[in-house]
């Protein structure tokens, strides 16, 4: 475990790179720098590793098991794949999610679903994602979760998204289908004012 302290880039640089203001960056950094109260282990300051990431996320979803989804999220945030999410990664991700264009957001979502980052979403990948999402709900749901609900959901998804029915969804198919769907468009704007 690296105890090397990681210093983020200068505030102005980050401000230029992301779409946040200085004040917002300050607020975000304060929260980012101190995820430790949750875990009992020492956490290297300046970066968030996957364990901590999972712990933080599971605090928000106490009933279910959010570790799988958190794992996928972590991979989506950790763009340089070095096993730790630095503040720059964090800001980059959040900047897209909160202040980006719809195109950028959809891009990000595609990146999340594409687990092996090969440019195609296969049914297996989608199934994993779907299972992870359903896991977060936990066991005590109404109506009770059926065994094949994730699979069915994946089928629905592919029917909607996979235009040429080749069993995989490419980025263009994805963006095109989403732009046609009003619900999705509207819900993309949902979290504009989170900070």
Partner 1 sequence: MAAGVAAWLPFARAAAIGWMPVANCPMPLAPADKNKRQDELIVLNVSGRRFQTWRTTLERYPDTLLGSTEKEFFFNEDTKEYFFDRDPEVFRCVLNFYRTGKLHYPRYECISAYDDELAFYGILPEIIGDCCYEEYKDRKRENAERLMDDNDSENNQESMPSLSFRQTMWRAFENPHTSTLALVFYYVTGFFIAVSVITNVVETVPCGTVPGSKELPCGERYSVAFFCLDTACVMIFTVEYLLRLFAAPSRYRFIRSVMSIIDVVAIMPYYIGLVMTNNEDVSGAFVTLRVFRVFRIFKFSRHSQGLRILGYTLKSCASELGFLLFSLTMAIIIFATVMFYAEKGSSASKFTSIPASFWYTIVTMTTLGYGDMVPKTIAGKIFGSICSLSGVLVIALPVPVIVSNFSRIYHQNQRADKRRAQKKARLARIRVAKTGSSNAYLHSKRNGLLTEALELMGTPEEENMGKSTSLIESQHHHLLHCLEKTTGLSYLVDDPLLSVRTSTIKNHEFVDEQMFEQNCMESSMQNYPSTRSPSLSSHPGLTTTCCSRRSKKSTHLPNSSLPATRLRSMQELSTIHIQGSEQPSLTTSRSSLNLKADDGLRPNCKTSQITTAIISIPTPPALTPEGESRPPPATPGPNTNIPSIASNVVKVSAL
* Region binding partner 1 by CB under 8 A among candidate stretches 9-17, 35-43, 141-149: 35-43
User: Residue from 14, 43, 47, 76 that binds partner 1 (CB under 8 A)?
Assistant: 76
Whole-angstrom distance, CA of residue 91 vs CA of residue 17: 9
Does 34 sit near partner 1 (CB under 8 A)? yes
Does 87 sit near partner 1 (CB under 8 A)? no
Give the pair of three-digit tokens for residue 178: 């989403």
The sign one gets for the Cα dihedral 143, 148, 153, 156 is: negative
CB of 63 to partner 1, least distance (A): 12
Does 190 sit near partner 1 (CB under 8 A)? yes
Residues 119-158 that bind partner 1 (CB under 8 A): 129-130, 133, 153, 156-157
| Three-class secondary structure assignment of the chain | CCCCCCCCCCHHHHHHHCCCCHHHHHHHHHHHHCCHHHCCCCCCCCEEEHHHHHHHHHHHCCCCCCHHHHHHHHHHHCCCCCCEEEHHHHHHHHHHHHHCCHHHHHHHHHHHHCCCCCCEEEHHHHHHHHHHHHHHHCCCCCCCCCCCHHHHHHHHHHHHHCCCCCCEEEHHHHHHHHHHCHHHHHHHCCCCCCC
Q: Backbone phi, then psi, for 184, in 5-degree steps?
A: -65, -40
Q: Kindly write out the interface string for residues 56-75 of this chain, putting x where it contacts partner 1 by CB under 8 A and - elsewhere.
A: xx-xx-x---------xx--
* Region binding partner 1 by CB under 8 A among candidate stretches 9-17, 141-149, 187-195: 187-195
Does 112 sit near partner 1 (CB under 8 A)? yes
User: Residue from 3, 5, 30, 81 that binds partner 1 (CB under 8 A)?
Assistant: 30
Does 5 sit near partner 1 (CB under 8 A)? no
CB of 27 to partner 1, least distance (A): 6
Q: Which residues bind partner 1 (CB under 8 A)?
A: 23, 27-28, 30-32, 34-38, 56-57, 59-60, 62, 72-73, 76, 90, 93-94, 97-98, 105-106, 108-109, 112-113, 129-130, 133, 153, 156-157, 174, 178, 183-184, 186-188, 190-191, 193-195
């Amino acid at each position: 475990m690296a105890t090397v302290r990681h210093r983020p880039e200068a505030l102005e640089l980050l401000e230029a790179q992301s779409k946040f203001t200085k004040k917002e960056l300050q607020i975000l950094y304060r929260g980012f720098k101190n995820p430790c109260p949750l875990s009992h282990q020492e956490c290297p300051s300046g970066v968030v590793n996957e364990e901590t990431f999972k712990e933080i996320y599971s605090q928000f979803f106490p009933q279910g098991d959010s570790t799988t989804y958190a794992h996928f999220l972590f991979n989506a945030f950790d763009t340089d794949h070095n096993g730790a999410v630095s503040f720059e990664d964090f800001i980059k991700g959040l900047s897209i999610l909160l202040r980006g264009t719809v195109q950028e957001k959809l891009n990000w979502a595609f990146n999340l679903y594409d687990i092996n980052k090969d440019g195609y979403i296969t049914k297996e990948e989608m199934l994993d994602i779907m299972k992870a999402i359903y896991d977060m709900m936990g066991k005590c749901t109404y109506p009770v979760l059926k065994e094949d609900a994730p699979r069915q959901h994946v089928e629905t998804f592919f029917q909607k998204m996979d235009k040429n029915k080749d069993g995989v969804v490419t980025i263009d198919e994805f963006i095109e289908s989403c732009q046609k769907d009003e619900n999705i468009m509207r819900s993309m704007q949902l979290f504009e004012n989170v900070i």
